[in-house]
Homo-oligomer: A and B are copies of this chain.
Amino acid sequence: MERIYTKDLKNKVGEKVLLKGHLHKVRDLGGLCFGVLRDKDGIVQITTEDKDSVLPKLKRESVIEVTGEVKICEKAPNGIEVYLNSVTCLVEVKEDLPFEIDKPEINANLDTILNFRSVSLRNIRNRSIFKIQHTILKAFREYFTKDGFTEINSSKLSAHATEGGADVFKVKYFDREAYLAQSPQFYKQMMVGVFEKVFETNFVYRAEQHNTSRHLNEYMSLDIEMGFINSVVDVMKAEEGFFKYAMEMLNKECKEDFERLKAEMPIIPESGIPMIKFSDAQKLLDEKYGQKCFGEKDLEPEHEKLLGEYAKNELKSDFIFVTHYPTIKRAMYTMVDSEDPEFTHSFDLLFKGLEITSGAQREHRYEELKKNMERKGLNPADFEDYLSSFKYGLPPHGGFGIGLERVTAQLLNITNVRETTLLPRDLDRLTP
């Protein structure tokens, strides 16, 4: 008999089937025994009235092979059960689990959950988080590939600290020092001269000392950079296009995972993601929410949260672009607004009141870029390789980066980004 998966059982009612998976749960009522088999897509109840069955004697998570008949059973999850013919234990488990994984939520603290990551992810709710994350990544690569972008994989080891030097991890590289990349920023810009439009999906590293629910020291950054843009709006439109595409794909491929996580698909209005200028956002925060922030150089997390509420309630959007951030707060490669040099052609994307993206048009003019560096107190001689591509001509360009774990968390209303990270790394955690 050929093995089938639990997801295909609904078309097999009345038939004999072979299933393989883990024994997710087992309950012995004496003469009647219910088990739950979990395979890569879902779970199914397995039932036996055979008093000699080995089923009630097996420990949870045992790897089993089951044959039986598919029956309608209203009380079972999904309304289906497999009435046992035989159960074989392929791999025995001798120890009890560190916590129960068959409830919707694991009843343990986050540290314990993360310590036993290969067990806690067997919880089907937790597993669904990463099926959704896989789909976001797939959508990102597919959307930009279809739009003519080329994938690049730029080195994560460099002789120089990427953007000035703070918060960077040092590596002993044979007899010298190297640094872990904080972003693919320089490389993706350099590659605009080669491929015109590029994307990258890779880990980046930030040696930040704070241990908040929003920060990780290693995270997956989804980056694009595109040439021959007319303005930063082209970059924002590219990001909007991606999110629409991703949501369609999630809707089609991850419905069950969303239901399991009690999450809803976010809303982007017909007219697109709304945009608000940084200084207008401050005015709004002051006038509508009594914040007194006008003139400050950045938005506080609380401000972002309020802007998220405003976008949701007034503009019927889960996303809002904040544009034209102050020059003083953006990196030297950001294009300054020539009509108002205190501000830049930059944006953040807030999703449900949290920043998930920074983006901008970049300064592509060699001389201007050098001046920008000097204004920020940086020495152009330290950026020779980077500047070299500008010397040989780069078109007007811009791009953005999205934190994958953070966007996953916001999408699923999960407050701690560690839960949406397969193997999180922070100030205290380097294992498993």
Contact = CB atoms under 8 A, between A and B. Distances in A.
A153 B40 contact: no
A195 interface: yes
A171 B174 contact: no
Given A155-B425, A209-B174, A430-B176, A20 B228 contact: yes
A150 B134 contact: yes
A20 B395 contact: yes
A388 B118 contact: yes
B389 A91 contact: no
Interface string A125-141: 00100110110011001
> Assembly of this chain: how many copies?
2
A400 to B, nearest CB: 19
B202 A391 contact: no
Contacts of A395: 20, 63, 90-91
Contact of A228 (B3, B154, B422, B423): B3
Interface string A144-176: 010010111111111110000000011111101
B190 A432 contact: yes
A419 interface: no
A394 B209 CA distance: 36
Interface residues on A, range: 35 or more
A143 interface: no
Given A40-B148, A93-B391, A364-B91, A385 B432 contact: yes
A39 to B, nearest CB: 7
A41 B153 CA distance: 19
A115 to B, nearest CB: 8
A121 B392 contact: no
Nearest to A127: B194
A275 interface: no
A304 interface: no
* Complex A-B, nearest 3 residue pairs according to Cβ-Cβ distance, in ascending order: A385-B432, A40-B196, A118-B389
A145 B254 CA distance: 14
A265 interface: no
A46 interface: no
A44 B183 CA distance: 35
Interface string A364-400: 1100000000000000000001101101111110000
Interface in A171-217: 171-174, 176, 178, 180, 187, 190-191, 193-197, 202-203, 205, 207, 209, 217
Interface string A243-284: 000000000000000000000000000000000000000000
B118 A130 contact: no
A74 interface: no
A303 interface: no
Contacts of A396: 90-91
A119 interface: yes
A95 interface: yes
Contacts of A176: 430
A317 interface: no
A367 to B, nearest CB: 10
A93 B393 contact: yes
B91 A394 contact: yes
A95 to B, nearest CB: 6
A131 to B, nearest CB: 6
